[in-house]
């Protein structure tokens, strides 16, 4: 049978046209674009790489103790499965993409951290297509990508949030909220439930504040049982319910025993004052994505007034079908705020009458939930104004105006000097060479051993904490940098700021 070239060309063109419309393609494209935006906003993690905070510790534990031991026992109080996955991916990346050069590990970890946050921001494009129109999904994505993070301020937030695996865990709260909404609204079969429940398990085994969200996944079954009078036996036999039961058991096994955290300072932090609690919970935790342009002008009274107005707007303008989303979002933000005020009182020391937003990492996840609430409210208001042709676009235009202001507040160029408060230097390579020369070898238990399979080194000036890597990998990486290995040892001049 002879096929017409014209028909064949039309068929191929039709396939190319349908590919960009596929939800998975749009999600991957949005993730790639968001990764570029985040890297452009805070590129120091890539251009001046260092193994920041727990990134160094978890890399060593992954090498010494293995994946599962690191994921569930690196901390005593909760699991870090998501962070461990990212460290593992970063380790595979330098093996596959960098010819096995372990000195590229900091950059690989930075890219995986950027990509993980970008994927979280792009997730609604994939799973909430039935709940929000495409224009508002794109607006949500833009708001998330450009949400201010103190990058152009003098605080530490200029370098500590984006590109750091150690601080990615906060974003899993947002991922869990989106997945719970998707599961309750769209999932009906076991095939649909399994990947969603796997994602929820990773969230719960990474950020313990995701655990209180899990019972909300049982609401559709409770509604069918109590309101629709569906037999319990029929519900129990549903594959999606079976998957949910497995998720519940897995989450119970992943729960750790909370341990008291040591304060940032030697002396215990004083009790949180009422005004500071209002700033932490309402201004910084709930309202920040909406009020950040005037954050420095807020007071306790103004914050309470804006909060009351926001609550009235949700009650009067929100659609009935989104009531559970609003309630769940407010409950999630309230939970995190209570934990910060009651259990992390030392955070209050950084808040002084709305003069700064550091530490931004603690608020990043539930600020993204607030952004989602703003977009849902805009969708509800747009629907109420659908009969007025030119007015119905105002809610979306207002949100896009926030995006524009955010892009002006923290522009992609020029780079802020605050990003470079800590810099990577040549100590990683220099000290690896020195550790091999001095025989700084340890065995699998971390004990000094002349013939140990691991080498222990300090990777940055001013930081006494060490990194442990396989001896063979370090030797091979130094061989790849043969020209550098024979150069004189040089040291870089760094700021005197202590390293976490």
Angle in degrees, CA 285, 304, 407, rounded to 5: 45
Rounded Cα gap, residues 157 and 151, in angstroms: 6
Long-range pairs of 125-129 with CB within 8 A, sequence gap ≥ 24: 125/23, 125/26, 125/27, 125/30, 126/23, 126/24, 126/26, 126/27, 127/178, 127/179, 127/182, 127/186, 128/178, 128/181, 128/182, 129/23
Closest CA to 118 of 38, 210, 181: 38
pLDDT at 9: 61
pLDDT at 376: 97
Q: Which residues contact 186 (CB under 8 A, 6 or more apart)?
A: 127, 130, 192
Closest CA to 71 of 56, 87, 49: 87
- Going residue by residue through the chain, which has 500 residues, state the pLDDT in tens, using 9 for 90 and above: 565 666 656 656 555 556 677 889 999 999 999 999 999 998 888 887 788 778 888 998 998 889 999 999 888 888 899 999 999 999 999 888 888 888 899 999 999 999 999 999 999 999 999 999 999 999 999 999 999 988 777 666 767 888 899 999 999 999 999 999 999 999 989 999 999 999 999 999 999 999 999 999 999 998 888 888 888 888 888 999 999 999 999 998 877 544 444 444 445 556 788 999 999 999 999 999 999 999 989 999 999 999 999 999 999 999 999 999 999 999 999 999 999 888 887 888 888 888 888 888 999 999 999 999 999 999 999 998 887 877 888 999 999 999 999 988 888 777 777 777 666 656 778 888 888 888 888 888 888 888 888 998 887 765 666 888 888 988 888 888 765 445 444 433 334 343 34
pLDDT at 431: 82
Both tokens of 497, joined, read 């700021």
Question: What order do you get walking across the sheet with 454-458 strand by strand?
Answer: 441-442, 454-458, 466-470
Please count the other Cβ atoms lying within 10 Å of the Cβ belonging to residue 124: 25
Q: Three-class SS of residue 448?
A: strand
Q: Three-class SS of residue 309?
A: helix
| Length of the chain, in residues | 500
Task: For CA atoms 341, 347, 352, 357, give the dihedral sign.
Answer: negative
pLDDT at 493: 38
Helix axes 172-186, 105-127, angle to 10 degrees: 30
Helices (H) and strands (E) counted in the chain, each on its own, are: 23, 3
Both tokens of 389, joined, read 């042709």
Rounded Cα gap, residues 142 and 312, in angstroms: 26
CB contact at 8 A, 109 and 55: yes
Give the H or E element holding residue 454: strand 454-458
Closest CA to 174 of 37, 367, 380: 367
Q: What are the start-end ranges of the H helices in 385-426?
A: 394-409
Burial class (CB in 10 A: 0-12, 13-18, 19+), 269: middle
Both tokens of 427, joined, read 């100590």
């Amino acid at each position: 049978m002879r096929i017409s070239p014209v028909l064949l060309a039309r068929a191929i063109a039709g396939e190319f046209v349908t590919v960009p419309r596929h939800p998975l393609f749009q999600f991957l494209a949005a993730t790639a674009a968001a990764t570029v935006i985040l890297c452009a906003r805070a590129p120091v993690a890539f251009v001046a790489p260092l193994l920041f905070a727990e990134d160094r510790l978890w890399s060593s534990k992954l090498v010494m103790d293995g994946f599962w031991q690191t994921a569930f026992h690196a901390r005593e109080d909760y699991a870090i499965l998501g962070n461990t996955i990212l460290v593992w991916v970063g380790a595979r990346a330098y093996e596959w993409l960098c010819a096995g050069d372990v000195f590229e590990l900091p950059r690989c970890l930075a890219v995986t951290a950027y990509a993980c946050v970008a994927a979280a921001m792009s997730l609604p494009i994939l799973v909430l297509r039935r709940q929000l129109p495409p224009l508002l999904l794109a607006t949500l994505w833009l708001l998330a990508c450009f949400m201010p993070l103190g990058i152009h301020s003098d605080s530490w937030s200029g370098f500590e949030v984006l590109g750091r695996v150690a601080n990615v865990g906060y974003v899993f709260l947002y991922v869990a909220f989106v997945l719970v909404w998707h599961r309750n609204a769209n999932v009906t079969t076991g095939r649909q439930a399994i990947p969603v429940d796997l994602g929820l398990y990773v969230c719960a085994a990474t950020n313990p504040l995701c655990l209180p969200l899990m019972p909300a996944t049982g609401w559709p079954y409770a509604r069918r049982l109590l309101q629709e009078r569906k037999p319990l036996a029929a519900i129990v036999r549903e594959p999606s319910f079976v998957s949910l039961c497995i998720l519940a058991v897995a989450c119970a096994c992943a729960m750790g025993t909370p341990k008291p955290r040591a304060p940032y300072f030697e002396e215990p932090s004083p009790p949180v004052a009422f005004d500071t609690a209002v700033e932490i919970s309402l201004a910084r935790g709930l309202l920040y994505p909406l009020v950040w342009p005037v954050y420095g002008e807020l007071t306790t009274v103004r914050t309470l007034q804006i909060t009351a107005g926001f609550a009235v707007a949700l009650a009067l303008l929100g659609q009935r079908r989104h009531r559970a989303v609003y309630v769940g979002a407010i409950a999630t933000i309230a939970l995190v705020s209570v934990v910060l005020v009651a259990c992390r009182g030392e955070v209050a020391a950084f808040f002084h009458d709305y003069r700064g937003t550091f530490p931004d990492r603690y608020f990043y996840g539930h600020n993204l939930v607030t952004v989602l609430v703003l977009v849902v409210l805009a969708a509800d208001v747009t629907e109420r104004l659908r009969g007025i042709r030119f007015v119905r676009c105002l809610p979306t235009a207002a949100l896009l105006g926030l995006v524009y202001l955010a892009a002006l507040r923290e522009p992609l160029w020029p780079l802020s000097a605050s990003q470079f408060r800590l810099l990577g230097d040549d100590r990683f390579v220099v000290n690896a060479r020195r550790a091999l020369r001095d025989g700084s070898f340890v065995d699998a238990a971390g004990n000094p051993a002349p013939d140990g399979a691991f080498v222990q080194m300090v990777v940055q000036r001013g930081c006494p904490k060490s990194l442990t890597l396989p001896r063979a990998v370090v030797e091979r990486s130094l061989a790849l940098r043969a020209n550098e290995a024979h150069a004189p040892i040089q040291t870089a001049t760094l700021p005197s700021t202590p390293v976490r």
